[in-house]
């Protein structure tokens, strides 16, 4: 197990290094400058500004400096927000996106598991069809469409929850629901398939032969065995949700990271682009690592493969 984890951690750092390098050079290839009003600046101003931002050094030197300061957790100063450090821009916004993402994840998974289990146990009944239809709708309606509908009917017309904004818990309800629908549908399908699969296994027969009721077998064994695959699903989903959805954030006026990232790309705010990309990547590889480790702990078969391959 230790060897397996070490190997994983090494790969993780390698991945991050490649991401950092690729992002840096791709960004340098982008046209345009970070200055808003370049045509009106004197050459002297340009030189001084370039020097302040370290843009006058050879690209390779910039790259090394950038890697070095990133190790210290310093992402530099933003271009679009004068004199503001990228960290001070990213982290408050990231916290918001993470809270929203986690809420959506929890809601989506809980409801998804419930629906999936009902669908599996009541196979072929109206409950099964109902859950499946819900899942299909959840998969096919884009979350921003749902967001607009929720905002208009529940926020404006009925006034149950605030239309938009961030600060109180009630303001998080509508965006959470809008974001939760996709993982809910995904989990529902996953759990249903996995449970139906498990219910046809021999051990169910055995349990029934031992005199347990069907429900008892399902509760004690089938459910537990069916939950394993969900672990795989949770990792990437959590990251995807926590990194913020630009559209949802814009619709509900949420000060999250999603929209900021897009804006930094549009304004050539190099340090912010790099900062957000790296934070995203770190989040993703760490979650994947944790998923792998949990998986290895739950399911011995995987650990064996990990040692071999």
**Positions in the binding site for other proteins (CB under 8 A):** 30-33, 35-45, 48-49, 52, 80-84, 88-89, 92-93, 103, 107, 110-111, 148, 151-152, 155-156, 158-160, 162-171, 173, 177, 250-253, 255, 259-260, 265-268
Q: 176-179 — which CB contacts under 8 Å span 24+ positions? A: 176/100, 176/103, 176/104, 176/107, 177/104, 177/107, 177/146, 177/150, 178/143, 178/144, 178/146, 178/147, 178/150, 178/248, 179/100, 179/101, 179/104, 179/108, 179/143, 179/241, 179/245, 179/248
Nearest approach, Cβ of residue 267 and other proteins (Å): 7
Q: How many CA atoms lie within 13 A of 233 on its CB side?
A: 22
Complex with other proteins: residue 161 or 295, whichever CB lies closer: 161
Radius of gyration of the chain (CA): 24
Q: Are 71 and 146 in contact (CB under 8 A)?
A: no
Complex with other proteins: residue 255 or 283, whichever CB lies closer: 255
Complex with other proteins: residue 39 or 209, whichever CB lies closer: 39
Can you tell me the distance from the alpha carbon of 8 to that of 299, in angstroms, rounded to the nearest whole number? 17
Complex with other proteins: residue 44 or 200, whichever CB lies closer: 44
Residue located via tokens 């959506």: 104
Q: At what angle do helices 257-266 and 86-121 cross, to 10 degrees?
A: 130
Nearest approach, Cβ of residue 167 and other proteins (Å): 5
Other C-beta atoms lying within 10 Å of the C-beta of residue 144: 15
Complex with other proteins: residue 37 or 140, whichever CB lies closer: 37
Complex with other proteins: residue 2 or 156, whichever CB lies closer: 156
The DSSP annotation for 238-266 comes to HHHHHT--HHHHHHTT---HHHHHHHHHH
Nearest approach, Cβ of residue 93 and other proteins (Å): 7
Nearest approach, Cβ of residue 73 and other proteins (Å): 18
Can you tell me the distance from the alpha carbon of 112 to that of 182, in angstroms, rounded to the nearest whole number? 10
Complex with other proteins: residue 2 or 29, whichever CB lies closer: 29
Nearest approach, Cβ of residue 245 and other proteins (Å): 13
Nearest approach, Cβ of residue 160 and other proteins (Å): 6
Nearest approach, Cβ of residue 195 and other proteins (Å): 21
Nearest approach, Cβ of residue 102 and other proteins (Å): 11
Categorise residue 133: left if φ over 0, alpha if ψ from -120 to 50, beta otherwise. Answer: alpha
Complex with other proteins: residue 222 or 273, whichever CB lies closer: 273
Encoding tokens for residue 19?
A: 């991401």
């Amino acid at each position: 197990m230790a060897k397996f984890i070490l190997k994983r951690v090494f790969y993780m750092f390698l991945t991050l290094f490649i991401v950092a390098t690729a992002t840096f050079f791709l960004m340098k290839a982008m046209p345009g400058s970070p200055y808003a009003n370049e045509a009106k600046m004197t050459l002297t101003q340009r030189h001084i500004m370039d020097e302040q931002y370290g843009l006058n050094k050879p690209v390779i030197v910039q790259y090394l400096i950038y890697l070095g300061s990133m190790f210290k957790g310093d992402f530099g100063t933003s271009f679009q927000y004068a004199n503001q450090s990228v960290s001070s821009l990213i982290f408050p916004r990231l916290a918001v996106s993470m809270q929203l993402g986690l809420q959506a994840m929890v809601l989506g998974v809980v409801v998804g598991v419930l629906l999936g289990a009902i669908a599996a146990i009541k196979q072929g009944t109206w409950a099964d069809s109902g859950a499946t239809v819900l899942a299909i709708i959840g998969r096919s309606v884009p979350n921003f469409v749902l967001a607009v509908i929720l905002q208009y009917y529940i926020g404006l017309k009925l006034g149950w929850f605030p239309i938009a904004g961030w600060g109180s818990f009630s303001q998080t309800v509508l965006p959470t629901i809008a974001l939760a629908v996709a993982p809910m549908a995904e989990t529902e399908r996953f759990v249903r398939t996995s449970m139906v699969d498990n219910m046809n296994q021999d051990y169910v027969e055995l349990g029934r032969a031992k005199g347990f009721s069907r429900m008892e077998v399902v509760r004690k064994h089938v459910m537990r065995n069916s939950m394993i695959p969900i672990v795989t699903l949770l990792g990437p989903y959590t990251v995807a949700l926590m990194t913020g959805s630009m559209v949802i954030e814009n619709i509900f006026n949420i000060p999250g990271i999603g929209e900021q990232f897009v804006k930094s790309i549009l304004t050539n705010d190099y340090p912010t682009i790099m900062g957000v990309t790296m934070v995203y990547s770190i989040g993703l590889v760490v979650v994947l690592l944790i998923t792998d480790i949990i998986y290895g702990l739950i399911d011995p078969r995987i650990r064996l493969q990990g040692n071999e391959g």
